[in-house]
Amino acid sequence: MTGITLNQVKKSYGNVDVIHGVDLQIEDGEFAVFVGPSGCGKSTLLRTIAGLEDVTSGEIHIGQRDVTHVEPAERGVAMVFQSYALYPHMTVEQNMSFGLRMSKAPAEDIQKRVDEASKILQLGPYLDRRPKALSGGQRQRVAIGRAIVRNPDVFLFDEPLSNLDAELRVQMRIEIARLHQEIGATMVYVTHDQVEAMTLADKIVVLHGGYIEQVGHPLHLYDDPDNQFVAGFIGSPKMNFIDGKVSAVNDSTVSVVLLENESSTISIPLKEQLPTVGEKVILGIRPEHFESAEAGGTQLTLKSDVTEHLGDVTYVYANAPNGERIIIERRAERTAQNGAEITVTIPVERAYLFDADGKRMR
Ligand code: ADP
């Protein structure tokens, strides 16, 4: 059993606190993805698990072992970096087997493991090539192969696909997902790309400023974000946020006037704490959840600014009367014109409400 437990992990550089007491449980065999904007601490957190950074305080357990003060090589982890860091003068086979040869593993054992890894990664035809004769995707596969041959309990990936072009990134993403299915090891993966996080993860950990904002299955985070940060980070194009003010509270239904010009009011049922009349709130609605003008309900009339036709889907970038920018996704729409007026309906069951601090109101 090789789950990972972080217990109040803190990391500071001098007097700069980068990770602020993180608690996290990653289950055995789980694919966990740390995602968040640049500088939020995701690489630092991964590197503390690898042992490449010491924690300032807190504990890290891998399986049943407290590894907080254990050397990286003794932690049973293998790491794959963004820069492949292959030895240029060695062949693919020599690169993959280097670590095992250094640790004086028996020759047959090395051969067997390199064969297995090259089969999983379809590197068989390239074993005699040097890195310079490989594409970026093939080089990254060799770097992953080097991790696989060590047969680690845990794989750690630090933005492994960032150096690849868009098409190759999609291809490698699928290969990494397949690799996880095939070998079933615990994997922790760092990315700033929410699409990578959504497509790879069993569990997404959204980080922001050294704090965990929310942990959950990708669709859970999409459907039920705890706060405005997660709501805006998960989903593409991102959720629209519209300023509003509470105009009435009746039983458990809150009426919100949108856009401060009192043009539209929406009534949203809440189960938990109710706001007070006059409180500022933020309404969230995803681009894909607007309905057409014919649907009954709260409507917004907007002026379209830029229209992107992608074939299956059209994105209309529009402006509200108060200048707020709103993105609308339209399917089966080919005629939308720039500068036209567009009326959309906000379905109540798709609307999210946040308080002025960005906390979700449920
Ligand atoms: P991310 O991977 O989310 O982009 P990092 O974990 O690399 O973020 O960095 C988190 C924060 O810690 C950043 O503000 C960065 O400047 C700071 N940081 C990282 N490494 C060091 C270091 N060796 N010394 C000082 N500050 C650092």
Q: Among candidates 186, 225, 185, which has minimal Cα distance to 206? A: 225
The string of pLDDT tens digits covering residues 19-34 is 999 999 999 999 999 9
Ligand 1 in contact with 38 (CB < 6 A)?
A: yes
Task: Report whether residue 42 contacts ligand 1, using a CB cutoff of 6 Å.
Answer: yes
Give nearest CA residue, ligand 1 atom 13. 39
Q: What pLDDT is recorded for position 1? A: 67
Q: What percent of the chain stands above pLDDT 90?
A: 79
Match 């949203």 to its residue by tokens: 268
Q: How far is the CA of 39 from the centre of ligand 1 (A)?
A: 6
In the numeric block, which tokens belong to residue 212? Answer: 């965990």
Pocket lining: 39 vs ligand 1, CB cutoff 6 Å: yes
The per-residue DSSP string of 87-100 comes to: -TTS-HHHHHHHHH
206 lines ligand 1 (CB under 6 A): no
Q: Whose CA is nearest to atom 24 of ligand 1?
A: 13
pLDDT recorded at residue 165:
87
More confident residue, 221 or 81: 221
Is residue 11 within 6 Å of ligand 1 at its C-beta? no
Give per-residue pLDDT as tens, 156-207: 999 999 888 888 889 889 989 999 999 999 999 999 999 999 999 999 999 9
Determine the Cα angle at 142 with ends 136 and 143, to 5°.
90
Determine the residue of 10, 16, 17, 18 to mutate for testing ligand 1's pocket, defined as the one with the most ligand atoms within 8 A of the Cβ atom.
18
Q: Of 273, 239, 280, 274, nearest to 256 (Cα)?
A: 280
pLDDT at 261 over 80: no
Query: Which residues are CB-contacts of 332 (< 8 A; sequence separation ≥ 6)?
Result: none
Ligand 1 binding pocket mutation candidate from 9, 11, 13 (most atoms within 8 A of CB): 13
DSSP-assigned letter for residue 239: P
